[in-house]
Structure formats: structure tokens, C-alpha cells
């Protein structure tokens, strides 16, 4: 089995943090995912009566069901170990195409290229959401097919942050540049230190995975190529999640007096 196969279409969300994020996204025009059923460890009910009562109330309000099951059944279905005795079966999320909905005039958007696994993708989304990114652009092949894993890794951020699909990376770049955004790419050749680069809004930031990086066709259109300088001589690249964290919060630092949320 390929590494990616075990995550294929994993719309089973695990843990109360993921479920609260799903509930928090109800009513958003950018997220139409719905909970269909929550599986709850029946032995957990007496230990967490307030949590169970909260979910029962939301189930009645939002028209989904709660099914009490054994711990062993939950463990047989879960991918991870941090489910806390709660799983949610959910519908698919319809992600709009870039251009179908308005883009902020003076915002901060990010495209993640070539990330190899859903955990790293989720960790990157967690940081970008915390740093105030207005949205994330995805290629047609992306890790949102493993939405449950991504949600858990991102601490729910994947269900809260706006997402857009693009036909190609080049199309996304051209769309944002036409709106007056500067394209900032994270790479080493022909780069300048990120802390010496103007990252004032509007910014379209592209972060590549450790193995494949950013495509040449995108780099050729960059307003600036930036690098993260290290505190010692170290030849290895940061993970995409780590790089997204550093870059996202530097964008936040430089624009923190602006309205970015």
C-alpha cells in the first residue's frame, strides 16, 4: 500500500477539537461540510457528562445523530490515537474555485506546493491560520481528501480557514498578480533573507515541500524569493510546516497594525 492510500477519503473526524471546529464552521459560506453522525464511547459518557450533553444539544439543533458505541469499535475505525473516544462521520466539503468568490484587496493568501503528507499539511495550516492568513490556495491534487487527518493535525484550523482550488499554480499566481498582489516564494537560489524583505500587504506567499519545492514556472514570476537564515551551518531544509510558521508570522509581524483577520 502506498503511504497516501491509507488516508484516501478519510472524512472520519477524530476528537472533540476537530468536532468543535466542524460545529464552528456551520453557517460559513466557505464551508458546507456537515456532521452526519457522531460515534461516542459509551463508557466515556459518565466521565464527561457536560461534553456529551453539549453534543446531544447540537445534534438536535443541527439534525445529526449520536450513536453510543464501544471503545473497541472506535479504535477499529480511527486512524490516530488521539480520538478521545469520539468520531464524527461527515459529508464532503465543496471547495470553491479561485475566482468564484471575491479576494480581499489588501490581504494575505498562501499556496502550499508539493507537501508530501497530510500531517505536515495540517501543521502548516495550523500556523497559517494562527498567523492571520486570509485563505489558502490548493491545487486539484491536495490533502483535503484526508480531511479528518488534516483537521486533527491542524487543531481544527483546516475547517476554519477559507480555501480555494486552482486549475494550476501558474493560474493562481496570475490571478493574484492581476489583483496587485506581490508574489513571495520561499526558496534558496537567488534569494534574500526574509527578515530583510518587505512583506507588506497584499501578499501571495508560496511555500514548497521539502522534496519537490516550488515549480520553476512559479519562481520565474516571483516579486521576491526569500530564505530563512539559520543560527548555525545546517544543510537540511526545514519542513514545509516549519517554514510556513516562520514566514507566516513574519508576514504577521510586518503587518500587525493592519486588519488581517
E strands in 170-245: 182-186, 192-193, 203-208, 224-227
Tell me the mean pLDDT in the region 139-159. 89
Phi, psi of 40 (to 5 degrees): -125, 130
Reported confidence tier of residue 137, pLDDT bands at 50, 70, 90:
very high
Residues 25-72 pLDDT 10s? 998 888 999 999 999 999 999 999 999 999 999 999 999 999 999 999
CB neighbourhood size of 166 (10 A): 20
Q: Note the pLDDT of residue 4.
A: 46
Candidates 56, 47, 44; CA nearest to 19 is 56
**Is a pLDDT exceeding 80 seen at residue 2?**
no
DSSP H or E run through 124:
helix 118-130
SS3 113: strand
Q: Note the pLDDT of residue 171.
A: 94
Q: Note the pLDDT of residue 157.
A: 96
**Of 77-81, 93-97, 255-259, which has the strongest mean pLDDT?**
93-97
Integer-rounded Cα Rg, in Å, for the chain is: 20
Reported confidence tier of residue 125, pLDDT bands at 50, 70, 90:
very high
**Is a pLDDT exceeding 80 seen at residue 11?**
no
Residues 89-124 pLDDT 10s? 999 999 999 999 899 999 999 999 878 788 999 999
**Is a pLDDT exceeding 80 seen at residue 162?**
yes
Phi, psi of 184 (to 5 degrees): -115, 120
Q: What crossing angle do the helices spanning 49-62 and 16-25 adopt, rounded to 10°?
A: 30
Q: Note the pLDDT of residue 58.
A: 97
Q: How far is CA 257 from the centre of its chain?
A: 24
Residues 184-237 pLDDT 10s? 999 988 999 999 999 999 999 999 876 667 889 999 999 999 999 999 999 888
Q: Which grid coordinates belong to 185?
A: 516564494
CB neighbourhood size of 1 (10 A): 6
Q: Note the pLDDT of residue 1.
A: 36
Tell me the mean pLDDT in the region 138-159. 89
Long-range contacts of 51-55 (CB under 8 A, 24+ apart): 51/16, 55/19, 55/86
Tell me the mean pLDDT in the region 126-148. 91
Sheet of 192-193, strand order? 163-165, 135-138, 108-113, 203-208, 182-186, 224-227, 192-193
Burial of residue 38 (CB within 10 Å: 0-12, 13-18, 19+) is buried
**Is a pLDDT exceeding 80 seen at residue 80?**
no
Tell me the mean pLDDT in the region 155-179. 95
Amino acid at each position: 500500500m502506498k503511504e497516501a492510500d491509507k488516508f484516501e477519503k478519510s472524512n472520519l473526524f477524530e476528537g472533540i477539537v476537530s468536532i468543535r471546529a466542524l460545529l464552528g464552521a456551520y453557517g460559513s459560506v466557505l464551508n458546507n461540510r456537515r456532521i452526519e453522525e457522531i460515534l461516542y464511547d459509551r463508557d466515556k459518557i459518565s466521565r464527561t457528562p457536560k461534553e456529551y450533553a453539549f453534543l446531544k444539544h447540537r445534534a438536535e439543533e443541527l439534525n445529526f445523530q449520536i450513536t453510543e458505541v464501544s471503545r473497541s469499535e472506535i479504535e477499529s475505525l480511527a486512524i490516530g490515537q488521539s480520538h478521545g473516544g469520539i468520531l464524527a462521520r461527515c459529508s464532503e466539503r465543496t471547495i470553491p474555485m479561485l475566482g468564484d468568490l471575491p479576494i480581499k484587496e489588501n490581504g494575505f493568501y498562501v499556496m502550499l506546493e508539493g507537501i508530501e503528507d497530510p500531517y505536515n499539511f495540517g501543521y502548516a495550516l495550523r500556523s497559517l491560520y494562527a498567523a492571520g492568513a486570509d485563505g489558502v490556495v490548493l491545487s486539484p491534487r491536495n490533502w483535503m481528501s484526508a480531511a479528518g487527518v488534516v483537521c486533527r493535525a491542524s487543531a481544527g484550523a483546516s475547517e476554519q480557514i477559507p480555501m480555494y482550488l486552482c486549475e494550476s499554480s501558474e493560474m493562481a499566481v496570475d490571478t493574484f498578480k492581476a489583483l496587485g498582489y506581490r508574489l513571495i516564494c520561499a526558496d534558496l537560489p537567488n534569494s534574500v533573507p526574509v527578515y530583510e524583505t518587505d512583506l507588506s500587504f497584499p501578499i501571495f506567499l508560496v511555500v514548497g515541500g521539502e522534496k519537490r519545492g516550488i515549480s520553476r514556472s512559479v519562481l520565474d514570476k516571483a516579486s521576491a524569493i526569500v530564505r530563512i537564515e539559520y543560527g548555525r551551518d545546517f544543510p537540511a531544509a526545514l519542513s514545509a510546516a516549519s517554514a510556513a510558521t516562520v514566514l507566516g508570522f513574519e508576514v504577521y509581524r510586518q503587518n500587525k497594525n493592519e486588519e488581517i483577520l
